[in-house]
Structure 1
Amino acid sequence: MTVTEDPTTFSVDLTNCDREPIHMLGAIQDFGFLLVISFDWLIQRVSLNVADYTGRQVDDLLGAPVSDLLGDSVIHMLRSRVQMLSADDASERVFGIDFLADGRKYDVSMHISGASIIVEAEPSDVGQTISPGTLVRSMSGRLQRTRSTQDLFDESVRQLRSVTGFDRVMLYRFNQDGAGTVVSEALRTGLEAFKGLNYPASDIPRQARALYVRNRVRTIADIAAVPVPIEPALDPSGEPLDLSLSVLRSVSPIHVEYLRNMGVEASFSISIVIDGQLWGLFALHHYKPRRLSMEMRNATELFGLMISLMIEGRLAREQRKAEEKARELHDRFVGKLMSLTPSVADLSDFAGDLQPIIPSDGFSVWADGVAKSFGKTPPVEAMPALARFLNRAAASRVYATDELGSVYPGAREFGADVAGLLAIPISRSPRDYIMFFRQELVQTVNWAGNPKAKEMDYGPNGPRLTPRKSFEAWQETVRGKSLSWTEAEKKASEALRVSILEVLVRFTEETSRQQAQAQQSQELLIAELNHRVRNILALIRALVTQSKATATGIDDFSKIVSGRIQALARAHDQITDERYAPQPLADIIKTEVDAYIGAKKDRVVLSGPALHVSAKAFSILALVFHELVTNSAKYGSLSDSTGRVYVKWRIDDHDNCVLHWREEGGPAVQRPSRRGFGTTIIERSIPHELGGEAEISYKLAGFEGRFVLPAHVIEIDPHPQHDHSATPHDGYGADDTTNASRRPEDRNAMTAGNAKLLEGMNALLVEDNVIISLDAEQLLESHGTSTVFVAASVSEARRILDEESIDLAMLDVNLGAETSFPLVAPLVERGIPFVFVTGYGEKIEFPEAAGPDVEAVKKPFSEDDLLAALKRSIERARG
């Protein structure tokens, strides 16, 4: 379609069916009316049936003020709702209001389209007696009790049919190629079942799938109803009205014919969107005209959001189980590989260990121009050409296809034995490969009608493509394809590639004389690396969780998390650049200022003696100053053009560093209405992890903070290189990101017993990382603990045990310079159940006093794993 064409007169043929502008049809369905209003509240367009509802003619309304049609109270309501529209795809709905001030109740929906406000109204269902919200809660409760994913599918369609009264409710799942399958169905007695049938991608064109993502529910009340045009069809610029988010939007003639061929007179759909992609649809069909009220449609939209989260959680759990099984096999293989010091060619001896990691029918190792094969593989003489084909693929990338013959013609010669290939490159020059093969899987696909049976026909607007007229089951035999490689298998193969390369490189470089010593060092390295990686993952997880609460959108959330992670990264870079040596205190502040507000750095004044900060304290201070800097730029003295920040430090009588942060000249300061994650970092990080002090105050003239760094983390530079009496830089309080509680849907895996497990208990949390401790503290509190006492050291934990009544304990194994093992004896003596949390991946030798059934959870831990371990420990303690 060219820019000069009118989309409302677009004709569809074989070349442009997937480009039909179904969001710009220029008409609505007849069960309501539409007003298009400018931002200065003038009527720009109306639906042609406006007189049927308002008694006012189209020509009388176009260009007139909205106040000529609607009362002041309604206009006030519309204005307030417009202000609440915060996203491009947002809409607001109001139910059961006297929209036209004539005593009739209407449901009203409004959204923004371009430079206009679209208001749609339809008569309320005054006979509706059941609260849609109550229905959704009831439906969700039943769904949460289902055991398997298929049970979830089946129960959801049963619930929807019961609530909506439609003759047929289908759950339709999309495949990667856009085709789809009916995976569950509930239908009226006497109807033909569609469950298990497949539908080609052309049945739901690309632009329709895109609309299903933007507008999560779609209703077609009566396919025989005559569409109601919108007047005028084009605006003064010649543009049609974009009805993407409209609830009344008319229906494509092609789709009307499609439904008519199926015998359907009314339909309704609810999108299932996962990770921003259209995973599937609930498709509801009725064989007579049927319309749900706007309020009921709104409730089913909420149901769609909830079922999307449930399905996503179930699928993620299944994926995680598959990955955990592959990881276990992978670790066993890598351990054996390391102990036997093989060459690339020797990898063929590990066929029995590799094939369970990547399930296959055959396995080959191609090394130094020679192939060693097991099971169903291409013939030996075909392997050199296959290797040359793989050489054309991207270097250092796993290559996978379930239809090798379609991309490599030479594979057709052995297609009866091999159809699928997954190749792992294990060297660069020459290219060597581990190859996994799968046999051809001859499939019989049941289609809902022949997917190739669309044909050209002549309709009211000339030649066009008609929908398929037969929906009887039609079978197609598919050959030349294997079982597809799953995402979990591809991830496992990538992890396998990295591990094999690491092992081979290490053994290639080591001599026989150094082998025994190097193996011991490697085991220690892997143990420490595993510990540090798990701690880092737990830290990042906590940052993400704690930063999401007040983010206004994806971009804002990304900026908040990115800023905090980058603050830690910059601190890490400064330390590692100097081989983990102490760094100047001033440089920490300068680094954050330069990174975040470099253009304003001349408005920050640093003064104080030349001090160095130990590497242990560096990342903590970097995060604290990051929060101070970012919030000053957002809310404090550096948020305008006049404010300044003064940072002064001195050494007190106890050799501690006392640092003052003072802002002035900016906007008036007000204490935040709620305590956020950033504020918590500033107030608790230095006392918790360094044993220092932190005080902040929100004075009207500007934010102020006082921090005390203990003597053991600082040292005075005897040969200062910089004078900080007037060095410019910037900062302020905290990005007040509230600690959000976990949402209920994040705890679907919890049983009813676990939900009451910690009710009223006092917990001792021993963790030396303040951010991880915040996350763990919130988790325990969200599951009913009365009080959580946090300790960063063994001595502090002993004091709490002596002074407080403790019912359970959660112990981090590694506390920096010590372990939490000395706490085992007093906990056992008092009969207090406890669980260890560790970043070490290997089997830890716990104290004998902990008993043979000691519970240990690896970082980063999942909520379910921790609760399960606590439950077992509590039950054992109770006998």
Structure 2
Amino acid sequence: MNPPNALDLTSCDLEPIHIPGSIQPYGIMLVADAASGRIVGYAGTKGVSPTLLDKPLQEIVSWSVEAIRSALPRTGIHVLGDVTFDGILRDAIAYASGAHIVVELTEKVEGTRIDAALLAVLDTLDVHLERAQNLTELAAEAARIFQRLTGYGRVMVYRFVDEDAGVVLGESTSEGLPSFMHHHFPASDIPRQARALYVRNRVRVIADVHYEPAPITSASSDLRELDLSDSTLRSVSPVHLQYLKNMGVAASASMSIVKDGMLWGLIACHHHEKRELSLDTRIACQSMASNLARLIKVREDNELYRERVRLRSQEDAILTQLGPDISLNRLFAQSGEDLAKLLGADGFAAVQGGDLYCAGKCPDDPAVRAMAEHVRVSALAKPVATRQLSKQFAPAAEFTETASGLLAVTMSTEVPTILMWYRAEQLQTVKWAGNPHKDVTHDPSARLTPRSSFEEWAESVQGRARDWTLAETESASRLVRLLLEARNNSRIRELNTELTTTLRENEILLEQRGLLLKEVNHRVQNSLSLVGAFLRMQARAATEEVRTELEEAQKRLLAVSLAHRRLYLDNSVEIIDLSRYLTELMDELTSSLEGGWRDAVQLDLSPVLTDAARAVSLGLVANELLTNAVKYAYEGRPGPVNIRLEQHRETLRLIVADRGPGMNSGIAGTGFGSKMLRVLMHSLEGSLEYEDNHPGVRAIVTAAIRGNP
């Protein structure tokens, strides 16, 4: 099956939906200059005198611009409270947009205030969510809860799956409405830039899809490019409005389900007539969506944990068959079916040089050898796992009935041993909400339009197998490591008597190698020490400003010295444990600071294996970010700093968070440290972002675990 999102949707993905220049007219927008505090633009004020321009914003909202600015988060909104405008009591929120402060006003809705009664209802709904036994029940219960909160006719829990398509996991509908349960929606239905906004602005409402956009009016200031990423009233794309009209939807709302900082799915709400949501209801929905994301994470983590325990017990059972008198060759021959069953595969094959072992349903021998050669190098660094092998290895299209899915790992024996698990094609029928191919135009100059049909359309999926789970790929890696260890132990036992002399010679060579490595390390350390001594000597006669820079240079030199020493202490000189390196680096750095910093800096580091060059760069980045916290958050005095290292598939995140005065403390400078951070992030091909920590600052470094070859 060709992916329904294979159409080039560049024109849609490039639409600047965050700067529409207009709002939905059910609310009012006031745009003030952040410096003067005067209103420079407005929208949605039909019937209100244009004398709003140049008025002080404080006359309208009773908040000064300075007070608003100090209360605003770096991204997102701040609730100002009740404001009476044009004789009507309204809810007011504010957010920053470039050099402007934007205030949005919406009419209050009776019976939706966040009070003790509503909080009690939300607590009861939380309990209902927690009682769900699995993801299916959780999605169904969530759909019912959000329908109760919003009053919309149809509420769907929508999860993103393969190739960014989506599938409806849970649904609650009013009587008479068609169901989209288990239906798939192509990735093209939600453009790339819209997904990014969903993470930032987590509740969005279109009160009436037939609305006429209210343009932003200004006098001297041109506000057509005003960024409305945080707006609750932002006018939406005409393509999306037509999409909703084609579905027969008159009003919609969506709440983002964000797990680990990434968009997991959406709560999608549709209604047959126009419908607004009050600010209090939006906030309640956002809170419930956050709780739902946490529960999803807990259930997925628990499921992963149970699967890991199950697999490890089965691994132990297989390894017990590898006694002192059995070789790997005999193990493969005798336990091939058990190895296939371990990972829920239909077949298992092992290739080592001219030897070939197959168990269960496998392709013919030439095909197995061809696949082994195809994955031999790539499966050495990490497991190769695919549910659609023919996309990566074209000849696999000839044997999808036995090997549509492949999980392969390479054991680094003298002659590489490639272990491969196969899964047969899993024929299935995917239900789409409308034919995702039907409205595709083949004219590259044609204007992109939304789909016009959402009637159920079924498509047969071929050439795909059941997906490999994270626990299964981990198990394959672990099994290879354990088999390699067992093989090496067995060989040592078998050859011990015959190779005593050879082993002794090897020991002498290893000792010589160790001495050589120590000598090299000793000389490098001496050279680095000389440079450090030279920096200290220069600092004595330098001015205070130069002395400070030289001391910073010594700390950076320490990070490089520690990385080099770490290399020559480890068994591997190419791959090192980043968490261990950062722990030792932070210990040495904090010991050089004023007393109390060692206890103030808290580490939460997940083990991440990376190459030495990236470890050195990340160590220097961590050093700079800690130095920034010392300087700007606490002015040199000890204060709480949390350093966290996370791994998300092939990406790592290094987070340095303080509890200082916040974003206005001058974290982003133009000095040498800031320039070096930019250079380091460029070399890592990563990104460095700062967030408000309420209070304090969170610096988030995102980079690939391995660099491009």
Residue in 2 aligned with 1:507?
Answer: 490
Matched, 1:186 2:172: yes
Q: Deviations over 1:426-447 (max 9, x none)?
A: 1255322111111111121111
Q: 1:296 aligns with which of 281, 286, 289?
A: 281
**1:644-688 residue CA offsets vs partner (Å, 9 max, x unmatched):** xxxxxxxxxxxxxxxxxxxxxx98x9xx9xxx899xxxxxxxxxx
Give the equivalent residue in structure 2 for 1:114: 98
Q: Residue 394 of structure 2 aligns to which amino acid in structure 1?
A: P
Unaligned runs of 5+ in 2: 1-6, 499-558, 571-583, 603-622, 643-692, 694-709
Are residue 20 (structure 1) and residue 15 (structure 2) matched? yes
Measured in 2, the distance between the counterparts of 1:191 and 1:485 equals 36
State whether structure 2 residue 236 is matched by structure 1 residue 251: yes
What is the SS of the residue equivalent to 2:63?
helix
Q: Which residue of 2 aligns with 1:705?
A: none
Work out the CA distance in 2 between the residues paired with 1:411 and 1:334. 31
Are the counterparts in 2 of residues 369 and 384 from structure 1 also a CA contact under 8 Å? no
Of the three residues 411, 415, 427, the one matched with 2:412 is 427
- DSSP-derived class of the 2:41 partner: strand
More divergent stretch after superposition (42-51 vs 164-173): 42-51
**Separation in structure 1 between the aligned mates of residue 628 and residue 102 of structure 2, nearest angstrom:** 38
TM-score for the superposition, normalised by structure 2 = 0.68
Listed one character per residue, the Cα deviations across residues 547-593 of structure 1 (whole Å, up to 9, x for unaligned) are: xxxxxxxxxxxxxxxxxxx9xx99x989x99xxxxxxxxxxxx9978
CA distance in 2, matches of 1:234, 1:287: 41
Partners of 2:94 and 2:330 in 1: CA distance: 67
Alpha carbons 1:45, 1:230 under 8 Å: kept: no
Distance, in Å, in 2 between the alignment partners of 1:379 and 1:591 is 53
8 Å contact kept, 1:110–1:118: yes
Report the Cα offset of residue 33 of structure 1.
Answer: 0.9
**Alignment partner, residue 104 of structure 1:** 88
> How has the CA–CA distance of structure 1 residues 434 and 112 changed in structure 2, closer, same or farther, with 3 Å as cutoff?
same
Q: Please report how far the alpha carbon of residue 147 of structure 1 lies from its aligned counterpart in structure 2 after TM superposition.
A: 2.4
Aligned counterparts of 2:350 and 2:166: Cα–Cα separation in 1: 37
- Corresponding residue of 2:435: 450
Structure-2 change in CA distance of 1:415 and 1:457 (3 Å): closer
Question: Aligned partners of 1:291 and 1:14: how far apart in 2?
Answer: 31
Corresponding position of 2:159: 173
Deviations 1:761-789 (A, max 9, x none): xxxxxxxxxxxxxxxxxxxxxxxxxxxxx
1:501 positional shift: 2.0
* 1:129–1:209 Cα change, 3 Å: closer
| Aligned-pair CA distance for 1:136 | 1.9
Q: Assess if the C-alpha contact under 8 Å between 2:24 and 2:211 holds in 1.
A: yes
1:75 aligns with 2:63: yes
Selected match of 2:357 from 357, 360, 372: 372
Alignment of 1:475-486 (within 5 A): 475-486=458-469
* Secondary structure of the structure 2 residue equivalent to 1:351: helix
- Partner residue, 1:125: 109
Aligned equivalents of 1:387, 1:98: Cα separation in 2: 69
Q: Does 1:86 align with 2:80?
A: no
Equivalences for residues 535-546 of structure 1 within 5 A: none
Q: CA deviation at 1:233?
A: 10
C-alpha contact (below 8 Å) 2:405/2:466 kept by paired residues: yes
Q: Does 1:268 align with 2:259?
A: no
Conservation of the 8 A alpha-carbon contact between 1:424 and 1:494: yes
| Greater gyration radius | 1
In the TM superposition, what whole-angstrom CA distance separates every residue of 1:499-520 from its partner, at most 9, and x where no partner exists? 22222223233335679xxxxx
Residues 262, 233 of structure 1: alpha-carbon distance in 2 compared, 3 angstrom cutoff:
farther
Cα distance change of structure 1 residues 245 and 457 upon mapping to structure 2, 3 Å threshold: farther
Letter in 2 for 1:413: E
Amino acid at match of 1:472: E
Superposed CA deviations along residues 804-860 of structure 1, whole A, max 9, x for unmatched, are xxxxxxxxxxxxxxxxxxxxxxxxxxxxxxxxxxxxxxxxxxxxxxxxxxxxxxxxx
Aligned partner of 1:66: which letter?
L
CA shift at 1:266, angstroms? Answer: 0.2
**Structure 2 CA distance, aligned partners of 1:37 and 1:441?**
59
Residues 484 and 162 of structure 1, relative CA distance in 2, 3 Å threshold: same
Q: CA, structure 1 residues 270+233, in 2 after alignment: closer, same or farther (shift >3 Å)?
A: farther
- Equivalent position to 1:413, from 398, 402, 413: 398
User: Out of 35, 38, 56, which is 2:33 matched to?
Assistant: 38
Cα RMSD after superposing both structures: 3.9
Q: Are positions 1:65 and 2:50 aligned together?
A: no
Question: Among the aligned pairs, what percent are the same residue?
Answer: 33
Whether the aligned pair in 1 keeps the contact of 2:410 and 2:417 (CA below 8 Å) is: yes
Cα deviations by residue, 1:436-486 (Å, 9 ceiling, x for unpaired): 11111112111110011224599xxx9521211111111111111111111
Q: Which AA in structure 2 matches 1:479?
A: Q
Structure 2 residue aligned with 1:762: none
1:313 maps onto 2:298 in alignment? yes
Q: CA deviation at 1:634?
A: 7.1
Structure 1's unaligned 5+ residue stretches are 1-11, 516-565, 578-589, 605-620, 641-665, 679-736, 738-879
Cα distance in 2 for partners of 1:82, 1:277 equals 28
Change (3 A) 1:225 1:213: same
Letter in 1 for 2:351: W
Is the 1:632–1:639 Cα contact (8 Å) retained in structure 2?
A: no
- Please report the TM-score for the alignment, with normalisation by the length of structure 1: 0.56
Whole-angstrom distance in 2 between the partners of 1:341 and 1:494: 21
Q: How many residues align?
A: 538
Superposed CA offset, 1:200-253 (max 9, x none): 1111111111111111111000011101011249955x8701111100011110
Partner residue, 1:471: 454
In the superposition, relative to structure 1, how do residues 622 and 17 fare at CA in structure 2: closer, same or farther (>3 Å)?
Answer: closer
Is the counterpart of residue 488 in structure 1 residue 488 in structure 2? no
Q: Is the 8 A contact 1:368 1:432 kept in 2?
A: yes
Q: Is the deviation greater in 409-418 or in 299-308?
A: 409-418
Distance 1:677 1:47 in 2: 42
* TM-aligned CA deviation for residue 423 of structure 1: 1.0
- Alpha-carbon distance between aligned partners in 2 of 1:626 and 1:479, rounded to the nearest angstrom: 53
The 1-side partners of 2:497 and 2:487 are apart by 15
Q: Could you tell me which amino acid in structure 2 is paired with residue 124 of structure 1?
A: K
Residues in 1 aligned to 2:215 and 2:597: alpha-carbon distance in whole angstroms = 61
